[in-house]
Structures are given as structure tokens and as C-alpha cells.
Structure 1
């Protein structure tokens, strides 16, 4: 019997692991491209909003090339982090990419500042100005988990109503608790039977991506998993390809 549920997880480019004395950000691909920069910044924000006192070690082992946009953000982000006095190390930098990595940032050990405090007044103003969740996280240095926690605090202090928050999130009021729990996770649980129903109705790729919050790469990964689980055939995959052309 095939399990009805499975966990979907797109291929990770940057992994973040908390070790006893520091956080380690490992680069899992040999080539860093422009499309990976946003994930790099998200992982940096995740570290900053979790426990920046422990510092971070960025491991470049196995990396063969980096795009110019990555080097710009790396320099800009970590110069700012350096100015804030946080502990940062770049390790295992291959000679081939060393000219593109700012050597002055390889080892930084300074005093630790206080954690930044997010102003509720500013956050409410941002909500009124319809900033997206991603914009809020970037502006205030929050992870998805941190943003969910802030939403809960705003609700608890009655600074925002459940109705307004539900409207912002595009859900029913009764779904807020579950939605906030989901906001702090990086994996999506997708019901296979629901996807198969959509496929049987010839739902277009764009509609599938919107419904299940998938990128093009994520949709391809989902199709592969359905095929490997024997839920769709090779002919189904070919028909999907013809449908999208």
C-alpha cells in the first residue's frame, strides 16, 4: 500500500547546522549561481534571528565557482555583520575562488552586541503599507519562525486582529494557528491523492505551482517522486510535457 502523504523538499544549496560552539553554513553545490543568492541571504537571516552569539562558520569546501552577485552580497552582508561585532569565519576557501572572497572577512572575532529589537510600531506601519512576509523578514532580520513568533505577539497584545491577519495570509480565521506553525517550517507536506486528482483534470503547470507553492524546479522534483513511487507512468510525464508546450 502506497503512503498517501510524503514530504516535499527542494534540493538545498546552503545548509545551516548548529554545532556546540558555532553555526556551520555548508555550501552543498560546487557552483553558486544568481538564483541561489536569495537562499544564502535567508540562511544568514536564520542564523542572525536564532542565536548570533555563537557566531557562524561558512564552509566553502568543494566550491568551484561563485557568481558576481553572490560575492557582492557576501561582502555587503558580512561587512555589516562585522561592523555589528559578530563572530564570523570563512573556511576551506579553494584557491580558485579565493580572489573573489574578501580575505579580510575570513576570521573576525569581536565583541557581541545586544540582539536587535523589532519595533511593534514600525512593524504595524509596514503591515499597513502591505509589505510582504519576505520584505518584512529582510527589513527586520527575521527568519520565517521569527516572523510567526512576532505575529503571535501582535495577536496576544491585541495590536492586530485575527480577522486582519487571516485576510493578510489569505486564509480563514480558524486556520491561523496552523498557518503560523507552518510558517516556521521549510518543508511542505503534499497529499499525493490531491495532486493526482489535479493531474487527471489536466491542471496546467502554472496552476499546480501556485496551488502547491512550488517553483519550476520543485514541480519537476514532485513529478519525479510521483513517478518513482509508481503513482504516475512515463507516458503521463510525456503527456505533461506535451501539455506544457
Structure 2
């Protein structure tokens, strides 16, 4: 996957209000870690780039866009698109489905939705926690979604599993908007605290999370981030 091509042709640069949702719309996010993973995983790269909207969920992507294209864009995190779509869904009395996470997390989300967005009808399904899903797993997951026929499907099964699953099953999913947002399920449920606006505005949202979860997040910060910078330097100074 070519970084210059990604920021030139695929990164979403407009405001959230301009996302067209008149037909089935698949929304993905990308950050330096997922870019580096996609460099090694062709199916993941195809899943990311085949969607309708690829949001710049990382200060590294914002920086790369500025350096390689001269364009100044804003970071749009998974939590941002989640909040935006919930507000729209509440105004339109829409149905929302959450696919992923534990039953406990989904119940916390349900409780919060009822308070904050009372006009939304919500259902959910907690798939088994495993590296890959069987045909039976996928059948149960898609059936749960399709029986409810949501306007919006949020998928939270961590990258790259969530994006690859949506990519493989998108034609069999009866939902108008499909969004892969990973850790946002835990952020919204309150089981994991998102970094404060102070760190987010500094472009350092990752830092407090790394301090809290070093064993889980060390790779993306001490391996993927430096590697991403190497890719950026190569694209800027050694690509002809």
C-alpha cells in the first residue's frame, strides 16, 4: 500500500456532514498502525481502501497528508463518527446495531443510549472472541443484524478483523451505514477511558492510553509509529 496514493486518493478530507449516506455506505478509519499492518496484509489493505469513506483517525495521517499533499485536514476519530451518527440517528428515530464486544459492554452501551438518545432503537450481538470466525459464527452474526434491519451498524471487533469481516460479508448485510470503530465500544461504555481533550488537541491521544495499557499498545507506538515515519520520509524525499 502506497502512502502517497492513500493520502492523495482515499483519505476523507471533508466534514462529517458531507458524508453521503443515501445508499449503502461503508466507513473505515486509518491510523499509522493500521497503515503499517495493511502494508503486510493485502486483504486488510483491500478492505480499508474498498470502503466509501476512509477517515484520518490519527495525527500521523494528518501529518502525512500535510507533508505529501500540502493539504491541512482535521483528524476524525472513530469516536467522532460514532457520536455524529448517533446524533443524526436520534433526530431521525433510526435503528442502530452494535456488533462486537462483551455482553457486559453492550449492556452498558444500551443503558447509555436509552438516556442520551431516547429516540434510537438499539439491538446488539456479542460474537465469540476468537482470531477467525467460522461459517456458523458469521451466519449467526449476519442473521442477528439482518433480522433487526438497522439503519446503522457499528462493528467493534478490533482491526484488522472487523474491517476484513465487513469486507467479506458486506453484500449480505442489511444495513445502510456500516462503520468499523474498534475501541469506541469500550470508550462509549466507559469500560476504557478515552484520553482527555487536552491530549487529543495536542495530537497525543495515544500517550495516556499507552501509559495505562503498555502491554497491549507498545507495538503500535514503538514499532508502527517509527516505521510509519520511515515510510513518510521515503515518500517525501525518495519517491520519483
TM-score tier, shorter chain, comes to under 0.3
What TM-score does the superposition give when structure 1 sets the normalisation length? 0.27
What TM-score does the superposition give when structure 2 sets the normalisation length? 0.27
